[in-house]
Amino acid sequence: MRLRDKIFNRYYSIHGKFLEEDIILKQRWFNNLCEANYASHLPIPGTGARILEVGCGRGYILKWMQGRGLSNIEGMDLSPEDVEFAKKYVGIDSIYCVDGFEYLQKKECIYDCIIGKSIFEHIEKAKLEEFIGLIKNALKPKGKIILQVPNMDWIMAQHERYMDLTHEVGFTKESLGEILRLYFDDVTIYPVVYEFPQSFKSKLRTRLLRPMVIKSIRLLFKLLGEGASDTWFEYRGIIGIAKKER
């Protein structure tokens, strides 16, 4: 068995649980993340739209969608421990422990939306094109993919790239756009919004101090003349939204 497969077989016990927080707090964090970054791109609740989450982990995004009234949802993940937890936590049986390539090969034009948070960086570079092709094939006409990955332009990107042994590749806004445009004409890349200010101090930090620091760093890059002043160094993650035209 390959090292990658060994890790995914026990992904929660040797990786996930050391990052895990209280379930209520974790769900609240995912709710905020999804409302800020995913909600406007999802199908309208009550339409029966079919949505798949690839790499659903412990089910927090599925739970969020369920809370928004999206009931025709399913998920898949390589971690048996996470899938077992997610089924109980979300309360649905349509969560499967299976490889994404294998799963998507059997699907054609059936999903209105496919979500993938932090999955693309786990796929070998040589297989990325095949995976994107399978996703497009599984989408209905006008269907969307919502794909979130770590941003390799982020100031702490080195940690993000190597914090997980199963990470195979990294992306910037340019390279994520490249791979998506191979198969989709309608592609938009956004920075991920992680700030969910609540207290006065957090609002002061995110609305006043943070912009000042970012502006200063961007000016420094420009003065150094290294061509990095237009990078998204301030964003930890990026999201690609791609729509299948027909």
Position 226 scores a pLDDT of 67
Q: Does residue 78 form part of some domain?
A: yes
Q: Which residues of 134-152 are buried (b: 16+ CB within 10 A; e: fewer)?
A: bbbebbbeebbbbbbbbbb
Residues ≥6 apart with Cβ < 8 Å to 213: none
Query: The domain spanning residue 168 has which CATH number?
Result: 3.40.50.150
Residue 63 lies in a domain: yes
- As a residue count, the chain comes to 246
- Sequential DSSP letters for the chain: --HHHHHHHTHHHHTGGGT---HHHHHHHHHHHHHHHTGGGSPPTTS---EEEET-TTSHHHHHHHHTT--SEEEEES-HHHHHHHIIIII-S-EEE--HHHHHHT--S-EEEEEEES-GGGS-GGGHHHHHHHHHHHEEEEEEEEEEEEBTTSTTHHHHHHSSTT----B-HHHHHHHHHTT-SEEEEEEPP-----SHHHHHIIIIIHHHHHHHHHHHHHHHTSS-TTS-TT-SEEEEEEE---
The domain in which residue 80 lies consists of 3-193+234-243
In terms of Cα–Cα distance, which of 3, 18, 11 is closest to 57? 11
The CA-atom distances, in angstroms, between 108 and each of 27, 66, 68, 96 are 31, 24, 26, 18
Residue 58 lies in a domain: yes
pTM of the model: 0.92
For residue 201, tell me if it sits in a domain.
Answer: no
Along the 246 residues of the chain, how does pLDDT read in single tens digits?
A: 788 889 889 998 888 888 877 899 999 999 999 999 999 999 999 999 999 999 999 999 999 999 999 999 999 999 999 999 999 999 999 999 999 999 999 899 999 999 999 999 999 999 999 999 999 999 999 999 999 999 999 989 999 999 999 999 999 999 999 999 999 999 999 999 988 766 666 677 777 788 788 888 888 877 777 666 678 989 999 999 999 988
In a domain, 36, yes or no: yes
Q: Is 202 part of a structural domain of the chain?
A: no
The total number of structural domains in the chain stands at: 1
Is 209 inside any structural domain?
Answer: no
In a domain, 95, yes or no: yes
